[in-house]
Amino acid sequence: MVVSLGTALITGATAGIGAEFAVQLAARGHDLVLVARDEQRLERMADALRGRGVGVEVLAADLSEPAGVARVVGRVDDETRPIEVVVNNAGFGLHTDFDLSPVEDEVRLLEVLATAPLRINHAALRSMVARGRGRIVNVTSVAAFAPLGSYSAAKAWLHTFSRWANAFYRPAGVTVTALAPGYVRTEFHARVGLERSSMAPEWLWLNVEPVVRQALRDSDRGRAMSIPSARYAVIARIASALPLGVISWVARRERWGFSRRRG
Ligand SMILES: NC(=O)c1ccc[n+]([C@@H]2O[C@H](COP(=O)([O-])OP(=O)(O)OC[C@H]3O[C@@H](n4cnc5c(N)ncnc54)[C@H](OP(=O)(O)O)[C@@H]3O)[C@@H](O)[C@H]2O)c1
What pLDDT does residue 257 have? 47
Whole-number Å distance, alpha carbon 204 to ligand 1 midpoint, is: 19
- C-beta of 258 in contact with ligand 1 (< 6 A): no
- Averaged pLDDT, 214-229: 98
**Residue 254 pLDDT:** 52
- Say yes or no: CB of residue 141 within 6 Å of ligand 1: yes
Rounded distance from Cα 254 to ligand 1 centre (Å): 22
Clarify whether 151 is annotated catalytic.
yes
Domain boundaries, the chain: 7-256
**Three-state SS annotation for the chain:** CCCCCCEEEEECCCCHHHHHHHHHHHHHCCEEEEEECCHHHHHHHHHHHHCCCCCEEEEECCCCCHHHHHHHHHHHHCCCCCEEEEEECCCCCCCECCCCCCHHHHHHHHHHHHHHHHHHHHHHHHHHHHHCCEEEEEECCHHHHCCCCHHHHHHHHHHHHHHHHHHHHHHHCEEEEEECCCCECCCHHHHCCCCHHHHCCHHHCECHHHHHHHHHHHHHCCCCEECCCHHHHHHHHHHHHCCHHHHHHHHHCHHHCCCECCC
pLDDT in the model for residue 260: 52
How far does residue 179's CA lie from ligand 1's centre (Å)?
13
Task: Name which residue leads in pLDDT, 197 or 122.
Answer: 122
Atom of ligand 1 nearest to the CA of 38: 40
pLDDT of residue 255: 47
- Residue 195 pLDDT exceeds 60: yes
pLDDT: which is higher, 242 or 45: 45
Q: Tell whether ligand 1 has an atom less than 6 A from the beta carbon of residue 17.
A: yes
- Predicted local distance difference test score (pLDDT) of residue 256: 44
CATH homologous superfamily of 7-256 equals NAD(P)-binding Rossmann-like Domain (3.40.50.720)
181 lines ligand 1 (CB under 6 A): yes
% residues pLDDT > 90 (the chain): 83
| Whether the CB of 256 sits within 6 Å of ligand 1 | no
107/239: higher pLDDT? 107
Determine the atom of ligand 1 nearest the C-alpha atom of 185: 1
Q: pLDDT tens digit string along 77-134?
A: 999 999 999 999 999 999 888 999 999 999 999 999 999 999 999 999 999 999 999 9
CA of 90 to the centre of ligand 1 (A): 4
